[in-house]
């Protein structure tokens, strides 16, 4: 193997490691805000993903998630909370509210209709 080859191998390995870290590495959490009497709300912008995409909420307190879909890319046209049996289409440039009460503590994934875009709902025990 010549020096270029070695450089390519090293560069490739580094790039693979970077890719894995970037996409699967730890992400920062966002805490749901308490608004009104006993309601927690989170505003989520949908554009190539969910921001924020890791949401921490309290168990047993009704939760409203306001999804604003800021794009027409069809990948994000639907949001699915499979554990809660909820699936809603998100019209582009509109806010769609989803209301649920997180009864069980734990981590629940929400995704787009094709399970590509992902977010996590972390329900902290009351």
Binding to other proteins by residue 104, rule CB under 8 A?
no
Binding to other proteins by residue 3, rule CB under 8 A?
no
Q: Which of 29, 33, 34, 99 is close enough to bind other proteins by CB under 8 A?
A: 99
How far from the centroid of its chain's Cα atoms is residue 13's Cα? Answer: 28
C-alpha to C-alpha distances, 95 to 52, 57, 66, 92, 106, nearest whole angstrom: 15, 20, 6, 8, 27
Binding to other proteins by residue 124, rule CB under 8 A?
no
Residue pair 66/97 in contact by the 8 Å Cβ criterion: yes
* DSSP state, residue 90: -
Binding to other proteins by residue 48, rule CB under 8 A?
yes
* Residue whose C-alpha is closest to residue 53's, from 7, 102, 4, 107: 107
Binding to other proteins by residue 107, rule CB under 8 A?
no
Residue numbers at the binding site for other proteins (CB under 8 A): 1-2, 5, 8-9, 11-13, 15-16, 19-20, 22-25, 27, 36, 39, 47-51, 53, 62, 64, 66, 68, 71-75, 78, 80-89, 91-97, 99-101, 103, 111, 113-118
């Amino acid at each position: 193997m010549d020096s270029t080859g070695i450089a390519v191998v090293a560069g490739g390995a580094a790039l693979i490691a970077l890719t894995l870290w970037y996409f699967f590495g730890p992400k920062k959490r966002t805490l749901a805000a308490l608004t009104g009497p006993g309601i927690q709300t989170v505003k989520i912008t949908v554009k190539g993903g969910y921001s924020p995409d890791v949401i921490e909420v309290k168990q047993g307190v009704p939760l409203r998630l306001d999804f604003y879909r800021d794009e027409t890319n069809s990948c994000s046209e639907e949001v699915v909370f499979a554990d809660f049996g909820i699936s809603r289409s998100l019209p582009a440039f509109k806010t769609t509210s989803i209301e649920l009460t997180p009864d069980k503590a734990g981590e629940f994934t929400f995704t787009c209709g094709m399970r590509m875009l992902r977010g996590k709902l972390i329900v902290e025990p009351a």
